[in-house]
Structure 1
Amino acid sequence: MKNRRIRIISDETIDFVPGLEENDLALANVHLFLNGKEVIFSREKFYKMINDRKNSFNTSQANPEDFIKVMKKFPDDDLIVLTVTSKLSGTYNSALVAKGSVKNRGRIEVVDSLSLSAGLGILALRAKELISEGKIFDEIINELNIFKHKIRIFLVLKTLDYLVAGGRVNRAIGFVAKIVNLKPVLEIRDGNLVVAGKMLLFDNLVRGFYDFTEKRAKSDKIFVLNNSMKDECSELKKLFESKGLEVMELGSLNPALGVHAGPECLAAGWISE
């Protein structure tokens, strides 16, 4: 029997990393709304418009029909579906419903990334590498379920208002941060967005964020990304490089996540050894 081709499917909360190209995977739509109307914006236009607080953005997760539409394109292939963390979105459940609904001849396995953004991109890149190495389907799934726990992401936001509004950060934390002008360092931990335990004065944001993350980084390769904080991100990159670390600068969060993080964000992450 001829081996089936293995394909990767994900959703539009993914951010691409070096080595991962758009034609390496197929994406289920995440729906972006401006003042109640569904829109499709470039990152540049989105971040320009979100700075105007008169614009009300929200998102709707990829639904089962979005995944079914993508899965049906590959009826004879084995499909690995990588979703944004189930702790912050119902996308994983949508993919499971879709899996049970399609009548593809190939196998379908849904993997909860327990991550988002570049973390999801890194997991997809690992899936691509394993496919290229000739690993069989079950080996790839097992490896991904181990590998996903090695991905670490920390971030700090200029304002927590967007996360509070979306119910992803406690209002009390947001209130304290605003009153005393302190910013908690947040972490994606086991799929949840949690306060990592240290507050930073915004005036010393880059140095403080670097000090916090550098001593925790158990890798010689770091990735950094930002929303509308290019100068700060470049400064952060230089600080990591001064320690002899290899740094990938990845750009901004996609709009599906930018709605919740807000217009100004700085993040760093790595794959733990």
Structure 2
Amino acid sequence: MSRKIILSADSTCDLSKELVDKYNIQLFPYTITLDDNVYKDNIDITPPDIFKAYREKRLLPKTSAINTVEYYNYFKEWIDKGYEIIHITLGSSLTSSFNNCCLSANELTGVHPIDSQNLSTGSGLLVIKAGELIEKGLNTEDIISQLKDHRNNIHMSFILDTLDFLYAGGRCSKLSSLGSNLLKIKPVINVDNNSGAMGVGNKYRGTIDKVLIKYIKDKLSSYNNINKEHVCLVHSGVDDELIDIAKNAILEHTPFKTVHTTVASCTITCHCGPNTIGFSFETI
């Protein structure tokens, strides 16, 4: 008789509480260090706390990958109760968490790490897919096989309002940051769903509310085989007006059945900064 499956994921999948509850997802938080204080992502620190520290003290947090001991202790509780675990991680090209997860899984029987090859709600869509497959009663091997095939059908991107946080985190030059801000250039960051690596895509010029519509329509127009079941809209804490603009632009182009809206985790937010907004969807 097969053991019951626990669906688990890194907290960076950025799914709403509604979806977490619906699919009974267990989330493992990353560690955030800010001003010599240690926090658990989205548990005792939120994006507004990060922006406040940067605005008032010019401090940026440091994020820590989940280590092997943390994973081992977390998984062992479930394994000792007779469960199998499917755990979906942040893309391996972005963090050592997947490798650490695999090392921990090797010490236990019944832990199955899956590299999402993505981030934020790009990972989240893979978690939703896993939840749907578990509900259908598929065995572990079939679920893992389908997830590995499906992750290349997930498309994640986001548009930045400012490069200040990328510069502060050492991910772009001061010249690029200043030039982008002065010229009101809003770069798009695309996630390569074969590797999880991030790369710069289109660059739009103007205020975020104006370029947001063009970014969304350009991205959706790039595919003619979109799965209209789910689309995830994720942001780092923006005005409701921007969220409405983004939702309307998405639905005017593609009539998705469900638009999931969520706030990005601190691990994601501290690299992209305020007024960042992105979305993820699947192709068939």
CA contact (8 A) 1:168 1:193 kept: no
Match of 1:5 in 2: 4
2:184 is aligned with 1:181: yes
Q: How does 1:35-46 map to 2 (within 5 A)?
A: 35-40=35-40, 41-43=44-46, 45-46=48-49
- How large is the RMSD of aligned CA atoms in angstroms? 2.4
* Closer/same/farther in 2, CA of residues 174 and 219 from structure 1, 3 Å limit: farther
Match of 1:227 in 2: 236
- Whole-Å Cα distance in 2 between the matches of residues 149 and 172 of structure 1? 35
- Whole-Å Cα distance in 1 between the matches of residues 23 and 221 of structure 2? 36
* Closer/same/farther in 2, CA of residues 168 and 113 from structure 1, 3 Å limit: farther
SS at match of 1:186: strand
SS at match of 2:277: strand
2:164 is aligned with 1:161: yes
Match of 1:49 in 2: 52
Residue 4 of structure 2 aligns with an amino acid whose one-letter code is R
Match of 2:136 in 1: 133
Residue 85 of structure 1 aligns with an amino acid whose one-letter code is G
CA contact (8 A) 2:48 2:237 kept: no
- Whole-Å Cα distance in 2 between the matches of residues 245 and 171 of structure 1? 41
CA contact (8 A) 1:46 1:255 kept: no
**Unaligned residue ranges in structure 1 (runs of 5+):** none
**Unaligned residue ranges in structure 2 (runs of 5+):** none
Query: Which of 62, 66, 69 does residue 65 from structure 1 map onto?
Result: 69
What is the Cα deviation at residue 189 of structure 1? 0.9
The percentage of aligned residue pairs carrying the same residue is 19
Match of 1:245 in 2: 255
CA contact (8 A) 2:15 2:121 kept: yes
For each residue in 1:248-271, what CA deviation from the matched residue of structure 2 results, as whole angstroms up to 9, or x when unmatched?
Answer: 141210112111111220102211
Query: Which of 189, 194, 197 does residue 199 from structure 2 map onto?
Result: 194
SS at match of 1:110: strand
* Closer/same/farther in 2, CA of residues 157 and 84 from structure 1, 3 Å limit: same
* Closer/same/farther in 2, CA of residues 23 and 209 from structure 1, 3 Å limit: closer
- Whole-Å Cα distance in 2 between the matches of residues 47 and 37 of structure 1? 12
- Whole-Å Cα distance in 2 between the matches of residues 168 and 193 of structure 1? 11
Residue 64 of structure 1 aligns with an amino acid whose one-letter code is T
CA contact (8 A) 1:14 1:117 kept: yes
CA contact (8 A) 2:217 2:249 kept: no
Query: Which of 122, 125, 128 does residue 125 from structure 2 map onto?
Result: 122
* Closer/same/farther in 2, CA of residues 138 and 125 from structure 1, 3 Å limit: same
Match of 1:266 in 2: 277
What is the Cα deviation at residue 28 of structure 1? 2.7
* Closer/same/farther in 2, CA of residues 138 and 35 from structure 1, 3 Å limit: same
2:110 is aligned with 1:99: no
- Whole-Å Cα distance in 1 between the matches of residues 170 and 22 of structure 2? 31
What is the Cα deviation at residue 43 of structure 1? 2.8
CA contact (8 A) 1:163 1:169 kept: yes
Match of 2:93 in 1: 87
For each residue in 1:90-148, what CA deviation from the matched residue of structure 2 results, as whole angstroms up to 9, or x when unmatched?
Answer: 11111012112x3x4x4222111011111222111111111111111111110000111
TM-score, structure 2 length as denominator? 0.84
SS at match of 2:3: coil
Tell me how many residue pairs correspond in the alignment.
268
- Whole-Å Cα distance in 1 between the matches of residues 279 and 128 of structure 2? 18
Moved segments of 4+, more than 6 Å: none
**222-231 or 123-132: bigger deviation:** 222-231
TM-score, structure 1 length as denominator? 0.88
SS at match of 1:242: helix
- Whole-Å Cα distance in 2 between the matches of residues 171 and 120 of structure 1? 30
